[in-house]
Amino acid sequence: MAFSDYKVALVTGASGGIGSAITERFAQEGLTVHAIGRNQDKLEELASRVKCVPHAIDISDTAAYRELLKSLEVDVIVNNAGVDHKGSIHTLSADQIDAQVTINFGAVLHGIGAVLPGMIERDRGHIINITSIAAAYPFKSNTVYHATKAGVRALTNQLRTDVLGKRIRVTEICPARVATEIFGKVHGNPKQAQKDFVEGYEILQPKDIANAIGDAVGAPSYANISCLEILPTFQAVGGLEFIRHTADDAGGKD
């Protein structure tokens, strides 16, 4: 098992949901886990029940984030933190666009850029980027979220060529709907979002994603699980819409 090759892991977005579940799984495997998130109370609660090292920082603060990473020898990094704002590119504010680009894509670039030199020097490491089915399939709204996650997918594929010849693995985890707090944050009403997106569905749980990551890390060091797309059995992606357009709609009638 490749877990035995690693000592230190870092997980972003560890305050709750998927990040918390990954932190717990890694700690169970004996790794020293640095758990990064913005909610100090939730991180402290996590650390009280899981052996991890909490860091309450905002990864959009690039200087602070890279300064922390300089002090660590990270063998496994999980880029999990993400934000979403409902809306298309022409309805989002400048701040909403910038927040998604900074957290979903920029912080991933900076995190990897900071830890990869050490991985190359030690000739071991595993980079895990959590994207979304939004990286691969278009659906209405959330335009910038789609674009940032697609950027992380392209980055993940490129990284494998950058580290070829080193014992460094790169994995993309691409989940569909997972029961997390993101729906409440996006739609502004956690209780209603719970009813609309979670209740009554056979939905993935954060631990399901954590276990998939555990399988990828635990594979023999010569095996790179490059991409895992994980959907609930009762969810499908794809489909086709075709809008009927008439001359009247186009203003072509005299």
240 occurs within a structural domain: no
In a domain, 235, yes or no: no
d(CA 85, CA 92): 8
pLDDT digits (tens, 9 = 90+) for 19-60: 999 999 999 999 999 999 999 999 999 999 999 999 999 999
Cα distance from N-terminal residue to C-terminal residue, the chain:
73
CATH number (domain holding residue 101): 3.40.50.720
Q: What is the pTM of this model?
A: 0.91
User: Amino acid letter at 127?
Assistant: I
Pick out the chain residues at pLDDT < 70. 1, 181-190, 193, 197, 247-254
Query: CA 201: distance to chain centroid?
Result: 22
Nearest to 134 by CA among 84, 98, 78: 84
Q: What is the pLDDT of residue 200?
A: 79
Which residues carry out catalysis? 145
Distance set, CA 219 to CA 1, 4, 229 (Å)? 6, 11, 17
- Paired residues of 169 in beta bridges: 126
Residue 241 domain-assigned (yes or no): no
Q: What are the C-alpha distances in Å from 77 to residues 7, 69, 128? A: 12, 11, 6
Q: Is the CA virtual torsion 8, 9, 12, 15 positive or negative?
A: negative
CA dist., res. 14 & res. 56, Å (int): 10
Give the structural domain span for 191: 2-230
In this structure, the strands spanning 76-79 and 125-130 are parallel
pLDDT of residue 182: 66
φ, ψ (nearest 5 deg) of residue 133: -60, -20
Are the C-beta atoms of residues 14 and 23 closer than 8 Å to each other?
A: yes
For 32, the 3-state DSSP assignment is strand
Assigned domain for 254 exists: no
Beta bridge partners of 173: 130, 228
* Domain tally, the chain: 1
Q: Give me the DSSP letters along 65-119.
A: HHHHHHT---SEEEE-------S-TTTS-HHHHHHHIIIIIIHHHHHHHHHHHHH
Tens digits of residue pLDDT in 117-143: 999 999 999 999 999 999 999 888 889
